Structure 1
């Protein structure tokens, strides 16, 4: 019986890999994860953009210093030991995180206040569950899982039951996003 130890990778290791148009890569607790590149459909892309616009309007009204929105699978290193480095559809970084991003940065360091994931056809249920748990364990205040098929948004917070908001309801930002509210239907129009 051999005792094999797998080397934990770092963000530097991840970004040193040659680019690939065939797989998405990320680190999950120091382990390299890969999946076939997700083919995003128009409903996915529209939901990502609409959420970004709605959050952007809200963010512009917040007092300075304010956080910063990132989209398009922006990489965040949400855990340092072992490293977890994930691409997030839409994320709201703290003012401190945004200020630390330099022109040559390859990721935002730390857990964002909000992580929004819009489900894709190839997403696997267990992968989504693992991601939600990792986000919350690393300090993300809210995780929104957006389902364009059912037109619902499920909000996850640490130490709380998930809450699903449907097309006919308002999606509140709560204490983490004070004053934010939108009609769920707006996301899918």
Structure 2
């Protein structure tokens, strides 16, 4: 039996790929096609971006957005597109208007989709923290919970009865998770 070989890609290879309408990530040189975003995923990501941008604007700290392609200098075979990422004002001049972003956000969030394997999400969290991201939120819309991981090893699980804190990164940021997850139980149910 012959062994098959897989050609590993680089971030540059991904950057040069023609746009075929799909989103891709790169994990250890292996290209991963991202599944389409479902409604709960889209809505919760949008809410988090909205709450973060309100806070960031009030404090003139930066901007939050989603799905930008991040490459980290310590992991050149990895390109990730977090559902939510915050960039400080001083990081904005470092961004190009197209292609990959070579910055380390202070905060990223990944919203779990049905296609995500827990091991794949955990691998992304490790990549983010190793690269210098200080705060990672892993959002589970089905269970209405957020796992908060911090660069100093902190790891806790919050439910919709809790408040989501900005930790040491954004000390004054807080949002009630019931607001983030409101109306989640209505998806898939005709009224």
TM-score, normalised to structure 2's length? 0.84
SS of corresponding position for 1:56: helix
CA distance, structure 2, for counterparts of residue 111 and residue 149 of structure 1: 29
TM-score, normalised to structure 1's length? 0.85
1:79–1:85 CA contact under 8 A, matched in 2: no
Structure 2: state its 5+ residue gaps. 183-191
Name the counterpart of 1:118. 111
Task: Give the deviation of 1:59 after TM superposition.
Answer: 0.4
The 3 A distance-change label for structure 1 pair 102 and 17 is: closer
RMSD of aligned alpha carbons: 2.1
Name the counterpart of 2:152. 159
2:9–2:31 CA contact under 8 A, matched in 1: no
Q: Which runs of 4+ in 1 moved over 3 A?
A: 5-10
Name the counterpart of 2:174. 181
SS of corresponding position for 2:168: helix
CA distance, structure 1, for counterparts of residue 141 and residue 44 of structure 2: 7
Equivalent residue runs for 1:37-186 within 5 Å: 37-63=34-60, 66-71=61-66, 73-103=67-97, 105-186=98-179
1:114–1:142 CA contact under 8 A, matched in 2: yes
